[in-house]
Amino acid sequence: MLAKRTGAGEVVPMVLACDPAVAGAQYVAAHKMLLESDALMAATLAEMGEPEGVAPAPDVLARGAIVIGDGRLARFRGSSDVDDLLAVPDAAARVHIRIPASGELARAERTAGPSPMRGRAIYLRAVTAATVDRARFAEVYAEFLDSLDERDREAFDAFVEWVPQRDAWTCAAFIERIDGIDLDRGPIGYPIQTEVDETGRVVSLGLLDSVLDAPTVISEIAVHIRTLGALGKPARLPSLSACGSRSDEAEAGSGPAPSAPETTSCTDGEAAAAAP
């Protein structure tokens, strides 16, 4: 459970759901839990629409582990609390985030320019429409965008283009360091963009050119920064050097917890990913 408004200015380590090491650890832990708990197995198979009383085939068991693991990853994205993960592997990258003090986050985001409010409203309508049928989310989302007139589509596109800029400035302001990435904070913060001189020669690398799938990484880090800025650090911050499964089987199969509005929304990044 997150405590209210604690730790402003404190630097805390955070792992990422988009880190393959973290995602893989959830699936391995979930697979083990399914094998050890008949009740969890039954509940998960029922959620998947599989027949009862029949020993699941290996591929069904693997899909069940993915259902549980994905649920825990989604919960973690919304809470920024590692207690929502089933396991935290030693191989996971640690991002060291300075928790924003009051007003700091808004100032950092304003560096990207004002939020395109009309585009944001259209985006939220698209997500709301698509969420009604989660099994067809991407399809319904695309259909909604196709139905927009030229003016609304331009407003939506402006918002989609603004979101990565906001996230980049947010990360520059509040990332102190990332273990295993040889980048140092400079006068304007943590380097996100790669700097080149007038001849095109690279002067210094940024995060965008230092990790695979950098836009996804930056988007998730920004979500965690907003969550920590709004809610504070977790009341219990377990050692992220520890590895192992959690023991809360009762919650293992539950779906994602709803995100807090605005400050912890992780769907802004999805807008860019889902837009055709």
Buried b or exposed e, range 114-148, using 16+ CB within 10 angstroms:
ebbeebbebbbebbeebeeeeeebeebbbebbeeb
Residue 222 has pLDDT above 50, yes or no: yes
Summarised one tens digit per residue, pLDDT across range 224-266 is: 999 999 876 655 544 443 334 443 333 333 333 333 233 334 3
Predicted model pTM: 0.80
User: What pLDDT, on the 0 to 100 scale, is given for residue 233?
Assistant: 61
User: What pLDDT, on the 0 to 100 scale, is given for residue 243?
Assistant: 38
- Separation of alpha carbons 206 and 229, rounded Å: 24
In sequence order, the β-bridge partners of residue 177 are 96
